[in-house]
């Protein structure tokens, strides 16, 4: 009966109903947002259930326990309840039971939902696993959390303290799990073995012991460690409950009104008379007084003080951890850029938003909470002034938070002897905190007009969910404006500052000022003045309100249109929709003979200061088929606008504006070997409302235009299709059979695909102070009309990925056997020379080993921090400024990462842009995995065997962690898709193979596929390499080669290094 | 001074809190009587512009304050039935805070008025103590002090004597009488005697309606009826106005044209008798066993 009574209370509380909605929604989002093709459903279920338990249980128990256990004091019911004939122990136990039963039931329903969603996706319903997870992990965890809650309530802690403790448990657990290498949390590593041991025994959720097996490549199981952990937790739970129930002194009620002896009446005042004094309105002074009181209340709140102190510690810890980190084995001399970038764009942006929500909520309901709301609301202070005081107080708190951030990062900088820069601090903090202030405006507006606290919190949290999660993407309505009060601003770097996104900042801030401003005015008109009662009889749809709503909506609509002009795929229009429509409408062109591009004559004019470039392309097409070509399809991706597009001897018969496809009909059909010119003219303008991204950027500090996908393609372009089969199905296009290369190319075959190579001639102009770069050899450069011109010409065909760049950095060059190598960077000549040396070593190695490749000059360019750390195009290598030009080896590194990176990207001229292209169904083995092999060889050559061992050990550990983290089924090296397979596993496999057979058989095999499959022969497949290698080694090695290259890459096979028992002869023949 | 016209309010749970309220409130002290849940607090909050009515208007010297609430707020002193205070603020600091909100920004005037009100409410000695630490009576006196800040023309006080000891209660009465000469003081209380002693006008409210409103002396003149005090329970229970006890002995106040029994003695009619009469008319239980 008593228990039922508790549930009767619970189910009358809005928070409980809110949790009934949120928890299942959260679990559904978790389940929907993970997995896909080739997912290990058992492993996925373990991850999802573990994530749900660790993330949801503390929050659920914390929220409900505040409601259930502290309600007597919160609502001044203590005396009434305490007077009932139910013992304190009994009352506490009943409430403990209600809390536990409710939390267990709710979380179990959420776990079942996950299992059902996976069941629908994979076809296997893992009921027994779900029940085991509930019994072994959920049950003891909830019992422990509930015990902590009743202990806190028995010690008379208030609601805030309880929330603070559970928030600390939540955050603390995530931090500890991350430091003990939890495979659930991306990026976690084992920081300390003692911590790991402690977590195995004392993890409140028991997940560390359970998931340890996955880190070793085994299946997770309920073993003795798990059971002991659960036993310890249950014992601890019992002890906490015992302590809570056996207090020496009975709990006393909290009361706002402490009864004291009444003050004696002072007779001398008895005759004091009341005199009238006139009043005068002084809004500024009233605003100042209200703001001061509001700020005092926030600052004097102990929890806020704790948060601000904790903030400094958090920022310091985050900034100092890895302030000088560039990449493994590599560090930089840190600056304020690095320190501020480490905290501002994630810690400050995300946690800062939560703090803003908390503070604005505190301010909005301060009067109500203090029960002074009616006095304040009845005073002659306008609602505008009341709201204004909240804005001022929040602004002041944000300034304090900014100061706390600056203190934390400055301490970290001082500790690591970083280059501290005040100007950068002012710039970065201003840019990062202004959006937080705008967000505060949204929350203040919500609280001002929302009469129910819970609804106000719910709406504010919904704003955060929309802003920070992929919720809208899941609904298929991704849009930059869902980043409420946000801007596309991305972190600045030392090469180009905020050039990637700085231009978009002011327009977005302006838009949000107008929109949030009108929302705030509307909320002031609808203000309940802190009373939670309606004080305004004006209809919501009054003309004044309608004007405000229309103004806000019109601002958003205009912004949407401006965004749409710069980026076609926002809102309901997605790239996938375009791709699916393209495939549905034009895939039949795949069967229609089409000419191929064999030469590109390009005139490219960069205007970096205006963020634009003009491109004039003359493409020579030829008919390589035996059939006559009468119609030609020429199309651009999405909405790339072409000012001019014409085909010789052809008329434009159809133009599909939506899919940007042009259909030409030739006056005279093209016969075999015949050629035509396709001329295209267009302007590329850097979008000002989006952050710059690869691979089209035109900025004064760095300009780079890759032809794909803005240069039109001829015929149906299969690369435009959606690749993910689940997404294909969702958009109504057939699945593409995804057989692995090891199956497709198991046997030698001729029809595997064809090379798409062209010769390129480019004349590139830029501002006089810059250098333009293109593929091929630089044959001429001159200056006319304050512009610098550069003419490049490829000596032979290269892979058809044209690219043009402009950089303010002068080149440092060297020449190797007629091939010019150049480095364009803002770094010192010494660093440039180091890269030239690495490039030269790589080129030499290939030349020495008989793999000649005529791709012309090779240019290495420093690129700002815009995504990849390295990227190779034919004849061009881009390397991130931080890792390539600021970084240097740390004291423990046996080699230089800059050398490894340059070798890797240079090797792509052979593996990737030599062979490794032209075969649609092959994966990245011939590109990335072979480049990893070259890394090993050249690092050993330059730094010795120990350096290779250090690198391979690192790659092995990286593989182990990521394999444990990954829910996809393991693939072989040939079929690898994940980066940790094609990179890390490749290093380990090739190192193992080198140790077993040496380099020569591998080089011989590479020679075979290079010489038999280089352009214009039939392109190589990854299985061609396997066959060549097996041929080199003889039949005895077939099984070993299959084991290394064709067996699934598991932790067992990679981390637990197994050597072959086979012996390889000392000499061999090609 | 204040004209209430056809005021209606229905809460979302269906409670009809105000039913076509029409009242003309002149300057002076006006008492509002009614049982719990009669709608007194709703009416007072509506007059204080803290919540809106569904229909109707409230005119303050001709200005509809439901549309221009600031006109009311600039002249209002309000003491709600229940109120709290900010933590960590002394009595003087909180009065200062309220004074500024009421537009008293001149430091000298502020200080003078606060000192005056502290003395008037007998809080001078605890002016620098935190209000959260006050006893119930002191807390209430603080509420009265803040209501009087700024010399409001209209005072709305919901149960102002709650928690006050007899002397403090008397002091408040004296003060209210003193300040109500040219102001409107609207007083809501369950202590009918207070209204009878203090107010010139009174209104009786039941189930959201004003069932009687007039000068207090007019309310007391019930035509052709006498009130009797007797120890014997009359046969006609409907004639019983109220049952009270004196030193443990039960006594009945009976309304009757004739003497109900020989021991019954005729007494003067009080506002409480009139209030009980209205309760009986509306079918309320008058707690007569």
SS3 for A514-530, per residue?
A: HHHHHHHHHHHHCCCCC
Q: Give the residue from B194, B218, B242 where a domain finishes.
A: B218
In sequence order, the β-bridge partners of residue B224 are none
pLDDT(A610) > 70: yes
pLDDT at A62: 92
Q: Look at B86 and A372 and tell me if their CB atoms are within 8 Å.
A: yes
CB nearest A380 (choices: B73, B87, B125) = B73
Q: Is the minimum CB–CB distance between B181 and chain A shorter than 8 Å?
A: no
pLDDT confidence of B255, banded at 50, 70, 90?
confident
Q: Do residues B55 and B212 touch, judged by C-beta distance below 8 A?
A: no
**Mean pLDDT on A150-171:** 86
* pLDDT tens per residue across span A702-731: 999 999 999 999 999 998 999 888 889 889
Q: Residue B169 maps to which CATH number? A: 3.40.50.300
Residue B103 sits in the same domain as residue B230: no
B135 touches chain A (CB under 8 A): yes
| Domain housing B76 | 2-218
Band of residue A551 on the pLDDT scale cut at 50, 70, 90: very high
Integer Cα distance of B155 and B78 in angstroms = 6
pLDDT tops 70 at residue A896: yes
For residue B140, give the nearest of B110, B155, B162 by alpha carbon: B162
Q: Are A822 and A809 in contact, with CB atoms under 8 Å apart? A: no
Residues B141 and B164 in one domain: yes
Q: Is residue A839 pLDDT above 80, yes or no?
A: yes
Q: For residues A454 and A364, what is the distance between their CA atoms, to the nearest angstrom?
A: 13
**Residue A1056 has which token pair?**
């637990």
Whether residue B282 lies inside any domain: the answer is no
Does residue B125 sit in the same domain as residue B213? yes
A363 vs A370: CA distance, rounded Å:
11
Question: Which range scores top for mean pLDDT: A366-370, A881-885, B194-198?
Answer: A881-885
Q: Do the chains contact at A276 and B80, CB–CB below 8 Å?
A: no
The answer to whether B126 contacts A263, with C-beta atoms less than 8 Å apart, is: yes
For residue B71, count other CB atoms closer than 10 A to its CB. Answer: 16
What is the pLDDT at residue A1011? 92
ipTM strictly over 0.85?
no
B88 to chain A, any CB pair closer than 8 A? The answer is yes
Residues B144 and B167 placed together within one structural domain of the fold? yes
- Among partner residues B102, B137, B178, which is closest to A274 by beta-carbon distance? B178
**Angle A373-B16-A451 (CA atoms, 0-180°, nearest 5)?**
30
Q: Is pLDDT above 90 for A603?
A: yes
Q: Which chain A residues contact residue B150 at CB under 8 A? A: 277, 279
pLDDT in tens, A815-824: 887 789 999 9
Parallel, antiparallel, or unpaired for β A612-622 and A596-607?
A: antiparallel
Alpha-carbon distance A721 to nearest alpha carbon in chain B (angstroms): 56
Q: Which of B105, B109, B122 sits opposite A285 (nearest CB)?
A: B105
| 3-class SS letters over A822-840 | EEECCCCHHHHHHHHHHHH
Q: Give the mean model confidence (pLDDT) for residues A323-341.
A: 92
Q: Give yes or no for residue A365 having a pLDDT over 70.
A: yes
H/E stretch holding A326 reads: strand A325-327
Q: How far is CA A603 from CA A616, A698, A761, A1002, B200, in A?
A: 5, 16, 9, 43, 98
Expressed in percent and rounded to 5, the helix, strand and coil fractions of chain B are 35, 30, 35
Residues B145, B86 within the same domain: yes
The last residue of a domain, from among B200, B218, B236: B218
Residues of chain A positioned with their CB less than 8 A from the CB of B70: 380, 382
* Binary contact (A370, B87; C-beta < 8 A): yes
List B residues 2-61 in contact with A (Cβ-Cβ < 8 A).
45, 48-53
Which chain B residue has the Cα nearest residue A535? Answer: B51
> Residue A304 pLDDT > 60, yes or no?
yes
3-state secondary structure of B202: strand
Name A672's Cβ contacts closer than 8 Å, sequence gap at least 6: A623, A624, A625, A626, A627
Answer yes or no: is pLDDT of A621 > 90.
yes
A residues 603-662 lying closer than 8 A (beta carbon) to B: none
User: Is B129 within 8 Å of chain A by CB?
Assistant: no
* Residue A763, H or E segment: strand A757-767
Average pLDDT of the residues in A146-173:
87
Q: Which residues of A touch B120 (CB under 8 A)?
A: 269, 272-274
Helix (H) or strand (E) holding A62, with range, is: helix A41-69
Look at residue B261 and tell me if it is in a domain.
Answer: yes
Cis link prior to A709 (omega < 30° from 0)?
Answer: yes
**CB contact, 8 Å: B151 with chain A?**
yes
Based on the fold, state whether residues B241 and B263 are members of the same structural domain: yes
Q: Measure the CA–CA gap between A941 and A948, rounded to whole angstroms.
A: 10
Tell me the three state secondary structure of residue A246: coil
A1062 has a pLDDT exceeding 50: no
Q: Which of A786, A374, A367, A473 is nearest to A605 (CA)?
A: A786
A 286-325: CB under 8 A from B: 286, 289-290, 293, 296-297, 300
* Strand, coil or helix: B201: strand
For B101, the closest of A269, A272, A381 (CB atoms) is A381
Helix (H, G, I), strand (E, B) or coil at A43: helix
pLDDT for the residue numbered A221 = 80
pLDDT at A262: 38
What's the domain count of chain B?
2
With respect to residue B288, please indicate whether it lies within any of the assigned structural domains: no
If asked whether residues B192 and B92 sit together in one domain, one would say yes
Q: Are the beta carbons of B34 and B205 closer than 8 angstroms?
A: yes
In a domain, B25, yes or no: yes
Name the residue with tokens 């010297």. B61
| Assigned token pair, B252 | 């009945």
- B245 and B211 together in one domain: no
Residue B220 is given by DSSP the state H
- Check if the beta carbon of residue A318 is closer than 8 Å to that of residue A346: no
Top-ranked range on mean pLDDT: pick from A483-487, B132-136, B163-167: A483-487
- Taking every pair of Cα atoms in chain B, the longest distance, rounded to a whole number of angstroms, is 68
More confident residue, A477 or A604: A604
Question: Is B70 an interface residue toward A (CB < 8 Å)?
Answer: yes
Element (H, E) at B20: strand B16-25
Interchain proximity A374–B70, CB inside 8 Å: no
Check residues A630 and A191 and name the one with the higher pLDDT.
Answer: A630
Q: Do B178 and A260 touch (CB under 8 A)?
A: no
> Over 90: is that where the pLDDT of A374 sits?
no
Same domain, yes or no: B172 and B252: no
**DSSP state string for A514-574:** HHHHHHHHHHHHT--TTTTS----S-TT-HHHHHHHHHHHHHHHHHHHHHHHH-S--TT--
Q: Within the 36-65 window of chain A, which residues sit less than 8 Å (CB to CB) from chain B?
A: none
Give how far B183 is from chain A: nearest CA, Å.
11
Average pLDDT over residues B117-139: 89
B68 and B27 inside one domain = yes
User: Which range is least confidently modeled, A327-331, A399-403, A928-932?
Assistant: A327-331
**A280: contact with B, CB 8 A cutoff:** yes
The residue of A276, A281, A366, A378 whose CB has the most chain B CBs within 10 angstroms, and thus the best one to mutate to test that interface, is A378
Interface membership of A267 toward B (CB under 8 Å): no
Q: What is the pLDDT of residue A573?
A: 64
Half-sphere exposure of A669 (CA within 13 A, CB side): 11
Q: Is residue A437 within 8 Å of A349, Cβ to Cβ? A: no
Task: Provide mean pLDDT across the span B35-43.
Answer: 90
In chain A, residues with a C-beta closer than 8 Å to the C-beta of B82 are: 371
With contact defined as beta carbons under 8 Å apart, do A1005 and A982 qualify? no
% helix, strand, coil for chain A, step of 5: 55, 15, 30
Whether the predicted pLDDT of B86 surpasses 80: no
B257/B139 same-domain check: no
Q: Is the pLDDT of residue A230 over 50?
A: yes
Res. A83 pLDDT band, cuts 50 70 90: low
For tokens 């805070």, what's the residue?
Answer: B97
| pLDDT value of residue A845 | 94
pLDDT at A78: 65
Q: Does A384 touch chain B (CB under 8 A)?
A: no
Model pLDDT for residues A22-58, shown as the tens digit of each residue: 899 889 888 887 766 667 778 888 989 999 999 999 9
Q: What's the rounded Cα separation, in Å, for the pair A134 and A128?
A: 10
Last residue of a domain, one of B188, B218, B248: B218
pLDDT of residue A688: 92
A884: burial class by Cβ within 10 Å (0-12, 13-18, 19+)? Answer: buried
pLDDT top residue among A38 and A161: A161
Name every chain B residue with its beta carbon within 8 A of the beta carbon of A297: 86-88
Chain B closest-CA separation from residue A76 CA (Å): 13
Q: Which among A371, A380, A531 is the nearest to B70, CB-wise?
A: A380
Whether the per-residue pLDDT at A267 is higher than 70: the answer is no
Residue A796 and residue A857: Cα distance in Å, rounded?
12
B262 assigned to some structural domain? yes
Written as six digits, the tokens of A202 are 């004392």
Residue B286 is assigned to a structural domain of this protein: no
pLDDT at res. B260:
84
A143 close to A100: Cβ distance less than 8 angstroms: yes
Q: In 3-state terms, what secondary structure has residue B69?
A: helix
Test mutation, B53, B76, B91, B119, chain A, max A CBs within 10 A? B119
Q: Which residues of B touch A269 (CB under 8 A)?
A: 119-120, 122, 124
Nearest-by-Cβ selection for A273 from B86, B103, B178: B178
Comparing B289 with A143, the larger pLDDT belongs to: A143
- Name every residue whose Cβ is closer than 8 Å to that of residue A587 and which is 6 or more positions away in sequence: A716
Q: CB within 8 A of A47, min separation 6: which ones?
A: A34, A183, A184, A967
Domain boundaries, chain A: 2-245, 285-566, 917-1070
pLDDT at A84: 64
- If you average pLDDT over residues A733-741, what whole number do you get? 88
**Residue in chain B lying closest to A363 (CA):** B86
Query: Is B285 part of a structural domain of the chain?
Result: no
Position A187 confidence tier, pLDDT thresholds 50, 70, 90: low
Distance between CA atoms of residues B289 and B255, nearest Å: 17
Average pLDDT (A506-513) is 96
pLDDT-derived band at A1063 (thresholds 50, 70, 90) equals very low
Residues of B in contact with A274 (CB under 8 A): 116-117, 120, 148, 175, 178-179
pLDDT at A18: 84
Q: Average pLDDT for residues A120-138, to the nearest whole number?
A: 87
Contact A129, A45 (CB under 8 A): yes
Is position B88 within any domain? yes
**In angstroms, what is the C-alpha Rg of chain B?**
21
pLDDT computed for residue A811 by the predictor: 94
| Count of CA atoms in the C-beta half-sphere (13 A) of B35 | 15
Tokens (6 digits) for B142:
């603080």
Tell me which range, A273-277, A963-967, B267-271, is most confidently predicted by mean pLDDT. B267-271
A1066 pLDDT more than 80: no
User: Which residues of chain A have a CB within 8 Å of the CB of B49?
Assistant: 377-378, 535
Element (H, E) at B56: strand B55-60
Which chain A residues are within 8 Å of B186, Cβ to Cβ?
A: none
Placement of tokens 């229940």 in the chain: B82
Domain at A917-1070, CATH class: mainly alpha
Ordered DSSP codes for A635-703: E-STT---SEEEETTEEEEEEETTTTEEEEEEEEEEPTT-EEEEEEEEEEE--SSS--BTTEEEETTEE
The CB-side HSE value for A179 (13 A sphere, CA atoms) comes to 17
CB atoms within 10 A of CB A1066: 6
Sorting pLDDT into bands at 50, 70 and 90, what band is A159?
confident
Checking if the pLDDT of A952 tops 90, the result is yes
- Residue A718 phi, psi (nearest 5): -65, -20
**B59 and B79: one domain?**
yes
């Amino acid at each position: 009966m008593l228990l039922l009574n508790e549930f009767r209370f619970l189910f009358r509380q809005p928070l409980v109903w809110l949790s009934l909605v949120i928890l299942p929604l959260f679990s559904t989002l978790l389940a929907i947002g993970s997995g896909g093709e080739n997912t290990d459903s058992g492993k996925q279920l373990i991850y999802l259930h573990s994530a749900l338990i660790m993330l949801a249980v503390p929050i659920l128990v914390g929220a409900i326990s505040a409601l259930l256990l502290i309600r007597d004091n919160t609502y001044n019911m203590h005396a009434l309840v305490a007077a009932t004939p139910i013992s304190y122990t009994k009352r506490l136990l009943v409430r403990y039971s209600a809390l536990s039963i409710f939390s267990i039931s709710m979380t179990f329903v959420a776990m079942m939902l996950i299992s059902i969603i996976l069941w629908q996706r994979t076809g296997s319903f893992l009921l027994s696993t779900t029940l085991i997870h509930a019994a072994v992990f959920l049950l003891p965890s909830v019992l422990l959390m509930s015990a902590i809650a009743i202990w806190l309530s028995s010690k008379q802690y208030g609601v805030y303290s309880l929330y603070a403790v559970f928030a600390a448990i939540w955050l603390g657990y995530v931090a500890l799990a991350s430091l003990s290498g939890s495979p659930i949390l991306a990026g976690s590593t084992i920081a300390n073995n003692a911590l790991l041991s402690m977590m195995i025994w004392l993890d409140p959720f028991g997940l560390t012991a359970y998931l340890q097996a996955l880190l070793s490549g085994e299946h997770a199981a309920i073993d003795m460690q798990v059971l002991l952990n659960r036993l310890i937790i249950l014992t601890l739970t019992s002890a906490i409950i015992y302590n809570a129930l056996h207090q020496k002194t009975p709990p006393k009620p909290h009361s706002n009104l402490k009864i004291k002896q009444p003050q004696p009446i002072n007779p001398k005042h008895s005759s004091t008379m009341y005199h009238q004094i006139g009043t005068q309105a002084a809004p500024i002074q009233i605003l100042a007084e209200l703001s001061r009181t509001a700020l005092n209340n926030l600052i004097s709140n102990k929890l806020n003080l704790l948060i601000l102190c904790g903030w400094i510690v958090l920022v310091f810890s985050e900034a100092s951890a890895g302030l000088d980190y560039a990449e493994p084995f590599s560090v930089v001399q840190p600056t304020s850029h690095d320190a501020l970038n480490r905290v501002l764009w994630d810690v400050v942006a995300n946690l800062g938003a939560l703090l803003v929500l908390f503070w604005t909520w505190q301010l909005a309901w301060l009067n109500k909470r203090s029960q002074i709301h009616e006095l304040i609301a009845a005073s002659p202070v306008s609602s505008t002034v009341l709201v204004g005081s909240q804005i001022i107080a929040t602004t002041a708190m944000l300034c304090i938070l900014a100061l706390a951030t600056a203190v934390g990062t400055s301490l970290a900088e001082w500790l690591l002897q970083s280059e501290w820069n005040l100007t950068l601090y002012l710039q970065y903090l201003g840019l990062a905190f202004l959006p937080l202030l705008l967000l505060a405006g949204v929350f203040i507006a919500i609280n001002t007009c929302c009469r129910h606290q819970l609804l106000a919190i719910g709406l504010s949290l919904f704003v955060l969910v929309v802003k920070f999660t992929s919720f809208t993407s899941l609904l298929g309505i991704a849009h930059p404006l869902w980043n409420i009060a946000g801007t596309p601003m991305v972190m600045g770097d030392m090469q180009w500052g905020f050039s990637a996104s700085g231009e978009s900042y002011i327009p977005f801030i302006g838009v949000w000022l107008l929109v949030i401003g009108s929302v705030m005015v509307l909320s002031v008109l609808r203000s309940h003045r802190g009373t939670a009662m309606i004080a305004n009889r004006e209809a919501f749809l009054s003309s004044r309100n309608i004007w405000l709503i229309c103004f806000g909506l019109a601002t958003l609509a205009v912004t949407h249109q401006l965004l749409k002009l710069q980026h076609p795929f926002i809102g309901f229009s997605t790239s996938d929709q375009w791709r699916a429509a393209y495939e549905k409408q034009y895939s039949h062109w795949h069967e229609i003979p089409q000419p191929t591009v064999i030469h590109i004559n390009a005139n490219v004019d960069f205007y970096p200061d205006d963020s634009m470039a003009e491109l004039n392309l003359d493409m020579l097409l030829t008919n390589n088929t035996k059939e006559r070509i009468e119609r030609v399809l020429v199309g651009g991706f999405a909405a790339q606008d072409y000012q001019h597009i014409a085909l010789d001897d052809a008329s434009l018969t159809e133009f599909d504006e939506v899919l940007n496809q042009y259909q030409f009909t030739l006056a005279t059909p093209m016969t075999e070997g015949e050629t035509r010119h396709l001329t295209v003219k267009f302007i590329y303008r850097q979008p000002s409302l989006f952050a710059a991204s690869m691979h089209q950027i035109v900025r004064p500090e760095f300009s780079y235009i890759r032809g794909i996908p803005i240069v039109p393609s001829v015929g149906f372009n299969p690369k435009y299709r959606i690749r993910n089969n689940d997404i294909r199905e969702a958009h109504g296009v057939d699945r593409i059979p995804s057989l692995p290369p090891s199956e497709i190319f198991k046997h030698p075959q001729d029809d595997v695909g064809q090379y798409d190579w062209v010769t390129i001639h480019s004349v590139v102009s830029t501002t006089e102070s810059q250098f333009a770069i293109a593929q091929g050899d630089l044959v001429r450069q001159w200056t006319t009309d304050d512009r610098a011109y550069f003419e490049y010409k490829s000596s032979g065909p290269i892979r058809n990925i044209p690219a043009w760049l402009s950089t303010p950095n002068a080149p440092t060059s060297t020449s190797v056997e007629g091939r010019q190598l150049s480095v364009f960077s803002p770094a010192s000549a010494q660093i440039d020379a180091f890269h030239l040396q690495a490039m030269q070593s790589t080129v030499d190695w290939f030349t020495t080993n008989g793999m000649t490749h005529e791709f012309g000059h090779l240019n290495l360019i420093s690129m700002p921090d815009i995504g990849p750390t390295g990227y190779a195009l034919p004849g061009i290598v881009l390397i991130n400024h931080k890792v390539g030009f600021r970084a240097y080896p740390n004291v423990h590194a046996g080699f230089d990462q800059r050398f490894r990176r340059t070798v890797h990207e240079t090797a792509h001229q052979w593996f990737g842009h030599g062979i490794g292209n032209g075969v649609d169904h092959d994966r990245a083995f011939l590109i990335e995995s072979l480049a990893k092999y070259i890394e090993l060889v050249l690092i050993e050559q330059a730094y010795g065997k120990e350096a290779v061992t250090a690198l391979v050990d690192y790659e092995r550990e990286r593989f182990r962690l990521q394999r444990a983290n990954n829910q996809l089924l393991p693939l072989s090296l040939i079929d690898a898709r994940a980066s940790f397979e094609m990179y890390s596993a490749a290093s380990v496999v090739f190192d193992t193979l080198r140790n077993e057979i040496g380099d020569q058989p591998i080089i011989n095999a590479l020679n075979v596929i290079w010489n038999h499959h280089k352009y214009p022969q039939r392109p190589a497949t990854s299985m061609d390499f396997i066959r060549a290698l097996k041929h080199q080694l003889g039949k005895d090695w077939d099984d070993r080669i299959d084991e290394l290259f064709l067996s699934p890459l598991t932790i067992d096979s990679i981390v637990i290094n197994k050597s072959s028992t086979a012996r390889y002869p000392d000499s061999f023949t090609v | 001074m204040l004209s209430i016209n056809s005021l209606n309010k229905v809460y979302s749970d269906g409670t009809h809190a105000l039913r076509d309220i029409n009242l003309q409130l002149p300057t002076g002290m006006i008492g509002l009587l009614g049982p719990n849940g009669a709608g007194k607090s709703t009416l007072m909050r509506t007059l204080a512009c803290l919540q809106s009515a569904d229909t109707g208007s409230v005119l303050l010297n001709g200005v509809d304050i439901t549309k221009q609430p600031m006109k009311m707020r600039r002249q209002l002193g309000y003491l709600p039935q229940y109120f709290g205070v900010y933590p960590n603020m002394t009595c003087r600091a909180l009065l200062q805070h309220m004074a500024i909100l009421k537009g008293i920004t001149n430091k000298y005037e502020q200080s003078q008025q606060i000192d005056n009100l502290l003395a008037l409410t007998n809080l001078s000695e605890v002016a620098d103590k935190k209000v959260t630490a006050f006893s119930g009576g002191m807390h209430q006196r603080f509420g009265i002090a803040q209501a009087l800040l700024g010399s409001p023309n209209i005072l709305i006080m919901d149960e102002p004597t709650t928690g006050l000891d007899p002397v403090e209660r008397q002091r408040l009465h004296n003060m209210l009488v003193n300040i109500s000469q040219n102001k409107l003081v609207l007083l809501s209380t369950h202590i009918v005697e207070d209204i009878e002693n203090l107010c010139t006008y009174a209104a009786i409210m039941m189930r959201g309606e004003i069932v009687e409103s007039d000068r207090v002396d007019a309310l007391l003149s019930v035509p052709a009826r006498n009130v009797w005090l007797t120890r014997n329970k009359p046969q006609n229970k409907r004639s019983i106005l109220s049952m009270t006890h004196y030193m443990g002995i039960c006594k009945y106040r009976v309304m009757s044209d004739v003497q109900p029994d020989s021991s019954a003695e005729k007494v003067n009619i009080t506002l409480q008798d009139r209030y009980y009469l209205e309760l009986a008319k509306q079918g309320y239980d008058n707690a007569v066993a």
